[in-house]
Amino acid sequence: MPVRTQPENTLTPIPVPECSPRKYCGCVRAEDLDEKFPVVKIDSNALDAVRLLAEHRLNGLVVVTDTSETPFAVLPASQVVRFIVPGYVQDDPGLASVVTESMADHAAEKLGGKTIRDMLPKQRQHIPVAEADDTIIEVAEVMARLRSPLVAVVKDGKLHGVITASRLLSAALKEE
């Protein structure tokens, strides 16, 4: 089996401005914490997106439409895992112990020919978004309320960067 050094290049990352490192002080704003993060388009190949999640050990991806740099959705890695688990196992978790390894090996096949749009919930969810000038507490509130592993930060209506839960916690600990 050939070794892949990079996933197929069907995902087009959208550049996010570099954020300068700042010393955390009394009033940390979202734009002080955000960082570059992979962004994918809604009609990108699902399997390539999953490879991106796995290879970079990401806990989610920001999804944009093909025509906009405005966040459309956040796709948590947990949603991707849910997508590959058969529905009957989700309905009856006891069946997970009887699913054979060969059945588990076919999980990736379930993503073949699918797009990110196919993995998103049918009903549009609230998007975990913060304004660039939001405080760390406002970002934490959005993350907690929407149970999202990351929050997209927008400035002037465009994606500025992303704050992950681990980055937010790290900043909160420095605030003490």
CATH class for domain 30-175?
alpha beta
Comparison of pLDDT for 158 and 15, the residue scoring more: 158
Mean pLDDT of the chain: 80
Largest alpha-carbon pair distance within the chain? Answer: 54
Q: Which of 31-40, 57-66, 90-99, 136-145 has the lowest mean pLDDT?
A: 90-99
For residue 138, what pLDDT is reported?
Answer: 94
CB of 47 within 8 A of CB of 114?
yes
Mean pLDDT on 65-80 = 84
d(CA 150, CA 91): 27
In tens, the pLDDT along 108-133 reads 677 778 899 988 888 878 889 999 99
Mean pLDDT on 46-67 = 89
Sheet holding 129-131, edge to edge: 129-131, 150-155, 158-164
Mean pLDDT on 18-25 = 44
